[in-house]
Chains A and B, each alone.
Chain A
Amino acid sequence: MSQQCCEVQQNGNVMILACSGGSNVGQLSNQAAVELTKEGFGKMFCLTGIGGHLSGFVQSAKDVPAMIAIDGCSVGCAKAILEHAEIPLKAYLVITDLGIEKNKNFDLDRETIEKVKNAVKSACKDLPRGVGSKSVCCG
């Protein structure tokens, strides 16, 4: 059991918080978070739990060494939720800053998803990768 726990933590030491909003860029944030979790880059976590001020979610985001928030647009809902819960930003990305226009087209194309995923990875480059797994892992 403890081995299983450690494997999970080591594979997902970057907490990924996506705004998952109701536009193409919101859903791009969600899709990128899902795929980066599946690929083992990080682990998607519930921004809504933080927004609800549930202590497990808030404390997790405060204590995790490596975390990125992804907002679809400059309205910055994810950033605002973290500020409201007094959680410091560690890495941050706004998808419209990548030159992707906000609209209501939910047919996301592969090229754009990959562009967002690469931008997320780039935004995380200064995060303490590896430190997170050691700190969070049961070992």
Chain B
Amino acid sequence: MEIKVLGPGCKRCQQTEHIVQEVVSELGISAKIDHVTDPIEISNYGVFGTPAVVVDGEVKSVGKIPSKEEVKSWLQGKN
């Protein structure tokens, strides 16, 4: 599984990445987590704001810090 956190490296983006890492760890999932900070690469996802989370190429949330429950639902849906 490939997870990308999109954002320029601000506090909210870091919080989002931290939540994703926590959930991946709790669920014991094998996943590659990238934090994409390049604005051009971010724009290629067509998101209106950051932070955003992408799971296996599908954008799951935009412009907000997702809850752990939300992240769990995305990742468990993939299992």
Contacts and interface: CB of A to CB of B under 8 A. Distances in A.
B61 A63 contact: yes
Given A1-B9, A4-B8, A136 B49 contact: yes
DSSP class of B's interface residues: helix, strand, loop or mixed? loop
Contacts of A57: 46
Interface string A32-64: 000000000001011001000011111111111
A2 interface: yes
A63 B62 contact: yes
B63 A63 contact: yes
Contacts of A6: 10
A115 to B, nearest CB: 27
Interface in B15-65: 37, 39, 45-52, 54, 57-64
Question: Interface size bucket, B side?
Answer: 20 to 34
B78 interface: no
Contacts, number: 81
Q: Which of B10, B13, B49, B62 has the most CB of A within 10 A?
A: B49
Question: Interface size bucket, A side?
Answer: 20 to 34
A56 B43 CA distance: 9
A14 to B, nearest CB: 11
A22 to B, nearest CB: 24
Contact of A49 (B39, B46, B61): B46
Given A56-B59, A59-B60, A138 B12 contact: yes
12 contacts: A2-B8, A2-B11, A4-B8, A5-B7, A45-B48, A55-B58, A55-B59, A60-B49, A63-B61, A135-B63, A136-B48, A136-B50
